[in-house]
Amino acid sequence: MSLLELLARADERGLAASAVACLDRCLPPPDDESDPEPLRPLWPGCESGAEWAARLDAVHAALEGAAGTNAQAARVRTLLGGAPRDFAAGPLRAWADACSLLALDVHREFDFPALDDTAAFLRCRGGEAEGAGPLVTGELLRQAEILETLAGSTGPVGGGAALRRVLDLSTEGRRVLRAVMSRRARGRGRADDANP
């Protein structure tokens, strides 16, 4: 099943958790004493929507107050600011879709070879991943696995285990992306040193 089909079938919990996981992977490493996992307060709200609006507001305010002007972090803050306060499938689906696109676009930025064809990039979510690099391909698979994990779990015990699995998947994805970002930054630094 394609990522678009999984998003179309997901319930509120799946949509919220998928969106939060996408944003979590997109946040750059903290460059100061700020919270290394600022989105963590949102995870408990993904299960049932409990205090969802209050959690969103608190996390968005914390990110707005964080130091740094990284463009990637700004994109995450923008999507958090536009997140639906109602824990309902319709608005959450549109938000999860936007978060999915952001995560894929961030991975595309650091991918090699980069998929420059925008139409082909958008088709990736429909199951046509030809030409996508390893980072985008991995992110597509990760997003699909997250939605499948949540779709297959029910009840408070199964739901809690599924959210923990989603958090683990997202944490591993974030580690992979940050490692690539770090290598790219080191490469640029060496190039700058070689060409003063």
At which residue do the structure tokens 């595309």 appear? 108
Does the residue 137 lie in any domain? yes
Q: List, in sequence order, the alpha helices (H) in 27-88.
A: 43-48, 52-65, 71-81
What confidence tens digit (pLDDT) does each residue in 136-149 have? 999 999 999 999 99
Considering only CA atoms, give the Rg of the chain.
17
Does the residue 183 lie in any domain? yes
Does the residue 94 lie in any domain? yes
At 121 the three-state DSSP class reads helix
- Report the distance separating Cα 97 and Cα 42, nearest Å: 18
Does the residue 88 lie in any domain? yes
Does the residue 196 lie in any domain? no
Does the residue 181 lie in any domain? yes
Of 185 and 68, more confident: 185
Does the residue 17 lie in any domain? yes
- Report the distance separating Cα 58 and Cα 50, nearest Å: 14
> In total, how many domains does the chain have?
1
- Report the distance separating Cα 17 and Cα 20, nearest Å: 5
**Residue 89 · residue 19 · CB < 8 Å:** no
**Residue 93 · residue 44 · CB < 8 Å:** no
**Residue 27 · residue 80 · CB < 8 Å:** no
Stretch among 47-51, 91-95, 120-124, 188-192 having the lowest mean pLDDT: 188-192
Number of H helices and E strands in the chain, helices first, is 9, 0
SS3 content of the chain, % helix, strand, coil (to 5): 75, 0, 25
Q: What is the DSSP letter of 125?
A: G
- Report the distance separating Cα 58 and Cα 190, nearest Å: 39
Q: What is the pTM of this model?
A: 0.88
How large is the average pLDDT for residues 83-110? 95
Is the pLDDT score of 159 beyond 80? no
- Residue 43's domain comprises 3-191
Supply the pLDDT for residue 190.
58
Is the pLDDT score of 126 beyond 80? yes
Does the residue 173 lie in any domain? yes
Of 104 and 185, more confident: 104
Mean pLDDT of the chain: 86
Supply the pLDDT for residue 8.
96
Supply the pLDDT for residue 189.
58
Supply the pLDDT for residue 165.
92
Band (pLDDT 50/70/90 cuts) for residue 88 is: very high
At which residue do the structure tokens 């139409």 appear? 119
